[in-house]
Amino acid sequence: MNKVAVILLSGGLDSTTCAAIADKAQYELHGITINYGQKHNYELEASREVAKHLKFKSHAIIDIDLASFGGSSLVSDDIEIPKNRDIENVHDIPSTYVPARNTVFLSIALAKAETIKAFDIFIGVNAIDYSGYPDCRPEFISKFEDMMNVATKDAVQHIGKYTIHTPLIELTKAEIIKKGLDLGVDYNLTSSCYSPREKGKPCSQCDACKLRLKGFSDIGVEDPLNYN
Amino acid sequence: MNKVAVILLSGGLDSTTCAAIADKAQYELHGITINYGQKHNYELEASREVAKHLKFKSHAIIDIDLASFGGSSLVSDDIEIPKNRDIENVHDIPSTYVPARNTVFLSIALAKAETIKAFDIFIGVNAIDYSGYPDCRPEFISKFEDMMNVATKDAVQHIGKYTIHTPLIELTKAEIIKKGLDLGVDYNLTSSCYSPREKGKPCSQCDACKLRLKGFSDIGVEDPLNYN
């Protein structure tokens, strides 16, 4: 029987590496990308390229307007995306946190999974080189897994048990990139920047760019993206 | 301080009664109605009327296309909505089950709640006179509550603890209607039917109509909706 998985793909470095890992493990991949009103919607384009590159069985971009709720610099025009933060020494949860984002994303992935009889969901969350978002931590993933196994028809009827796979959760950004390069990931297709300039060119100053650049630098490899 | 709550409002009998209970308990109500591609989208209109009638502080209709996933007679054109089932004696989970629907709905309610600093969410789920959906049961609600209190910034920073209120969960349909009538609910504004005819006129044959009609009949009150 085919192993079938739903993967949450943002088009960024982490989710793309996660997809490559799932691909290597021979899952048939069904990608879900969420258009939630993020200012950096260039990543939607990147997600399409990655899905094509990794030969996803299906890929859907799903709209859910979290921007209408506001409350995050990633979606609200009146909150500026922080730049040039000292990411290694500041550990508060920054304004880029989007309320309940991964809860919403995993819920949508679960809805997709149940309709296609997939019991495996991949998400590229990371709790090491990250921005302190609560919904990237193992505690969250574990509680979500408990919940989804009482929430769904196929789980309560013991047709299958849902698992959330988080292969990156305990890795540093450098380790993630190293793993991705070993798997042949083309990071030039990905987009991490929260505040890209024309044609998706990364800003190099937001937390996402800084974490990414530090990751490449730590393993002595040049990021293929053009930051100039 | 104002008590602030987010309420999931479908425009049906249960969620409207639930809203009236929250209103009576003096919550400032922020309604979320989900347009998920349900064939019976007449209920969106009903939700607007109910929100107006109960003087909600805000009411948003949020689009999320679960119909594109399929897998339920409520959203898929190729699956017929079951009619004239023997609802008192058949206890399977019917084709009207929508994969992960309440998981998705509560996630969106949580996103709204965190942005407006509301720690109370109301949902009119019912596990007595219902269709056996797993995501209407107390087990599900309890696990979702556990999850949301590790998922969110305000919870992990101990600014507040999220609670899901399910005042109808252990009531019969007759008890729900009695409670609503005591609170002055105008059930003529509500829409329960899965398969309404022109102008939202209920079919009287789907599970939702049958449960509703039985509830009114059990307390000897006539349903104000016109079924003819």
Q: B33: which chain A residues are within 8 Å (Cβ-Cβ)?
A: none
Residue B224 placed within a domain = no
Structure tokens at B114: 């965190």
Structure tokens at B205: 């044959």
Look up the pTM and report it.
0.97
**CB–CB contact A107 B99 (8 Å):** no
Residue B185 placed within a domain = yes
**CB–CB contact A100 B69 (8 Å):** no
Kindly report which listed range (A77-81, A126-130, A161-165, B53-57) carries the lowest average pLDDT score. Answer: A126-130
**CB–CB contact B99 A110 (8 Å):** yes
Residue A131: its pLDDT value, please? Answer: 84
Which of B33, B64, B79 to mutate against chain A (most A CBs within 10 Å)?
Answer: B64
**CB–CB contact A151 B157 (8 Å):** no
**CB–CB contact B107 A114 (8 Å):** no
Q: A116: which chain B residues are within 8 Å (Cβ-Cβ)?
A: 69
Give pLDDT tens digits for A35-62.
999 999 999 999 999 999 999 999 999 9
* In contact, A101 and A131? CB cutoff 8 Å: no
Whether chain B has a CB inside 8 Å of the CB on A60: the answer is yes
Residue A172 placed within a domain = yes
Residue B227 placed within a domain = no
How far, in Å, CA of B81 to CA of A214, rounded?
55
Residue A24: its pLDDT value, please? Answer: 98
Task: Please report the sign of the dihedral spanned by the C-alpha atoms of residue B67, residue B70, residue B73, residue B79.
Answer: positive
Say what the ipTM of the complex is: 0.97
Residue B130: its pLDDT value, please? Answer: 83
**CB–CB contact A100 B110 (8 Å):** yes
How far, in Å, CA of A135 to CA of A142, rounded?
11
How many folded domains does chain A comprise?
1
Q: Which domain holds residue A142?
A: 3-218
Q: Which B-chain residues 86-125 have CB contacts (< 8 A) with chain A?
A: 93, 97-104, 106-108, 110-112, 114-116
Whether chain B has a CB inside 8 Å of the CB on A137: the answer is yes
Residue B155 placed within a domain = yes
Give pLDDT tens digits for A15-32.
999 999 999 999 999 999
Residue B89: its pLDDT value, please? Answer: 82
- A173-182 CB burial, b ≥16 within 10 A, e <16: bbbbbbbbbe
pLDDT tier for residue A1 given thresholds of 50, 70 and 90: low
Q: A107: which chain B residues are within 8 Å (Cβ-Cβ)?
A: 100, 103-104, 106-107
Q: Which residues are bridge partners to B222 per DSSP?
A: none
pLDDT tier for residue A89 given thresholds of 50, 70 and 90: confident
Residue B129: its pLDDT value, please? Answer: 84
Secondary element (H or E) of residue A24: helix A13-24
Give pLDDT tens digits for A146-193.
999 999 999 999 999 999 999 999 999 999 999 999 999 999 999 999
Q: Residue B203 belongs to a domain with what CATH number? A: 3.40.50.620
Residue A2 has pLDDT above 80, yes or no: no
Question: Parallel, antiparallel, or unpaired for β B3-8 and B58-63?
Answer: unpaired
Which of A63, A91, A123, A144 to mutate against chain B (most B CBs within 10 Å)?
Answer: A144
| Low pLDDT (below 70) residues in chain B | 1
Determine what percent of chain B falls in helix, strand and coil, rounding each to the nearest 5: 40, 15, 45
Q: Please state the φ and ψ torsions of residue B177, each to the nearest 5 degrees.
A: -65, -40
* In contact, B30 and B111? CB cutoff 8 Å: no
Structure tokens at A63: 């709209």
Whether chain A has a CB inside 8 Å of the CB on B35: the answer is no
Work out the angle at residue B87's Cα, subtended by the Cα atoms of residues B82 and B90, and round it to the nearest 5 degrees: 90
Point out the residue among A93, A152, A153 whose CB comes nearest to the CB of B153. A93
Q: A92: which chain B residues are within 8 Å (Cβ-Cβ)?
A: none
Q: B158: which chain A residues are within 8 Å (Cβ-Cβ)?
A: none
**CB–CB contact B151 A157 (8 Å):** no
Residue A90 has pLDDT above 90, yes or no: no
Residue A227 placed within a domain = no
Distance between A154 CA and the closest CA of chain B, angstroms: 9
Residue A225 placed within a domain = no
Q: Which amino acid is at B44?
A: L
Residue B109 placed within a domain = yes
